[in-house]
């Protein structure tokens, strides 16, 4: 059987045929920005260039990119020389030549820029490539518009939620589809792209570790379930602004509760941490309970030792009276903390 060659973030392997490629694409193991080489060919193509494979791909920042008329007019001043050339070639179909040129761009052009903006493109920035796009209040196409986005301008990356990036543009914050922007790191060589992928795809690197739900006899009477869980960060960048969603189903499989919860604190690079609850002080009916990492609580208790009396190493969830309980916990949103500079 003739085999396809695949390169995903600098890692090469072979696939047995289009069916296998489609399965990998559906699982998210191949993205539109990864490159493939057909059997017997000498050129590499982006996965999104192959019609049969494109339909199986998940949303990808390079899929369906609109780069204008190819003139480069109106591009940000930081898009210079070879970088502008790559963007023009991308509008023509991202050919093998574009891949070769992209890999030839000096990595130093992607340094964290200084205040003058002369060093290059920041790793924490994206180029706005879509026309007539707007920041949305929520990661939903039907959500209210917050602020218009200007094509070819730069926006600051604040996080990722599913197929949406959370961005800051002209002082406003909101969400934009990942295929409405071009991440700065796509201009770099493969090694740099692999190194900085967690900044743009942090949800791939943070996972729910051990999670369990229990209901004690006392809490069952109150309809309270205890969630004990840890989160694992498998990248070299600290992660923060994490939001998790707990979904609970009854014995019949009906969803009885779906609750989104912010987790305070920073999940360190290449480490795991448990989450728990810091309850308000006795008599405080205004302050809500705070869900946070254990490491964040440990900082608080150093300043306020009495906070230890209000700490629970679980998250209490009001589930009501249910017959049986099936529960899941997933990562909804996360932001990677970029390097300083």
Residue spans per domain, the chain:
59-203, 206-336
| pLDDT for the residue 94 | 33
Q: Which of 78-92, 160-174, 228-242, 255-269 has the lowest mean pLDDT?
A: 78-92
- Mapping DSSP to helix (H, G, I), strand (E, B) and coil, where does residue 322 land? coil
The answer to whether 330 and 244 have CB atoms below 8 angstroms apart is yes
Q: Measure the CA–CA gap between 141 and 176, rounded to whole angstroms.
A: 9
Residue that wins the pLDDT comparison between 235 and 97: 235
Residue that wins the pLDDT comparison between 118 and 284: 284
Q: Measure the CA–CA gap between 231 and 272, rounded to whole angstroms.
A: 5
Q: What is the pLDDT of residues 98-136, one digit of tens each?
A: 343 344 334 444 444 444 445 556 777 888 888 889 999
- Any bridge partners for residue 311, and if so which? 278
User: What CATH number is given for 59-203 in this structure?
Assistant: 2.30.30.40
Give the confidence band of 331 by pLDDT, cuts at 50, 70, 90: very high
6 pLDDT exceeds 50?
A: yes
**Percent of the chain at pLDDT above 70?**
72
Average pLDDT over residues 20-43: 80
| pLDDT for the residue 171 | 95
Q: What is the pLDDT of residues 225-283, one digit of tens each?
A: 788 899 999 999 999 999 999 888 877 778 888 889 999 999 999 999 999 999 998 88
Convert 111-138 to b/e letters by CB count within 10 Å (16 or more is b). eebeeeeebbbbbbbbbbbbeebbbbee
Residue that wins the pLDDT comparison between 65 and 56: 56
Nearest to 152 by CA among 69, 59, 31: 69
Q: What is the pLDDT of residues 211-222, one digit of tens each?
A: 787 766 566 667
Q: Measure the CA–CA gap between 192 and 104, rounded to whole angstroms.
A: 12
Q: What is the pLDDT of residues 285-330, one digit of tens each?
A: 899 999 999 999 999 999 999 999 999 999 888 776 665 567 788 9
At the topology level, CATH places domain 206-336 in Immunoglobulin-like (2.60.40)
């Amino acid at each position: 059987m003739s085999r396809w060659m695949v390169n995903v973030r600098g890692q090469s392997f072979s696939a047995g045929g289009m069916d296998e490629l489609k399965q990998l694409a559906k699982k998210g193991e191949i993205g539109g920005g990864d490159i493939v080489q057909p059997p017997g060919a000498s050129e590499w193509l982006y996965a999104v260039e192959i019609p049969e494979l494109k339909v199986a791909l998940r949303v990808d920042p390079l899929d369906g990119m609109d780069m204008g008329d190819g003139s480069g007019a109106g591009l940000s001043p930081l898009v210079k020389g070879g970088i502008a050339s790559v963007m023009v070639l991308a509008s023509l179909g991202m050919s093998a030549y574009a891949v070769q040129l992209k890999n030839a761009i000096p990595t130093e052009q992607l340094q964290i820029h200084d205040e003058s903006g002369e060093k290059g493109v920041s790793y924490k920035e994206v180029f706005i490539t879509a026309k007539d796009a707007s920041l949305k209040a929520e990661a939903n196409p039907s959500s209210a518009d917050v602020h218009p986005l200007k094509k070819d301008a730069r926006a600051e990356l604040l996080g990722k939620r599913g197929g949406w990036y959370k961005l800051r543009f002209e002082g406003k914050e909101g969400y934009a589809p990942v295929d409405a922007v071009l991440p700065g790191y796509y201009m770099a060589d493969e090694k740099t792209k692999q190194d900085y992928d967690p900044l743009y795809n942090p949800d791939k690197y943070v996972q729910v570790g051990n999670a369990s739900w229990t209901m004690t006899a006392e809490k069952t009477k109150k309809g309270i379930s205890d969630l004990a869980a840890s989160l694992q960060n498998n990248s070299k960048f600290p992660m923060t602004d994490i939001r998790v969603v707990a979904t609970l189903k009854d014995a019949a499989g009906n969803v009885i509760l779906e609750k989104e919860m912010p987790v305070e604190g920073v999940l360190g690079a290449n480490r795991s941490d448990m989450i728990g609850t810091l309850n308000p002080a006795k008599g405080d009916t205004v302050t809500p309970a705070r869900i946070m990492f254990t490491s964040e609580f440990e900082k608080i208790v150093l300043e306020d030792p009495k906070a230890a009396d209000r700490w629970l190493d679980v998250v209490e969830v009001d589930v009501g009276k249910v017959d049986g309980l099936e529960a899941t916990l997933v990562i909804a949103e996360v932001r990677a903390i970029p390097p300083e500079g």
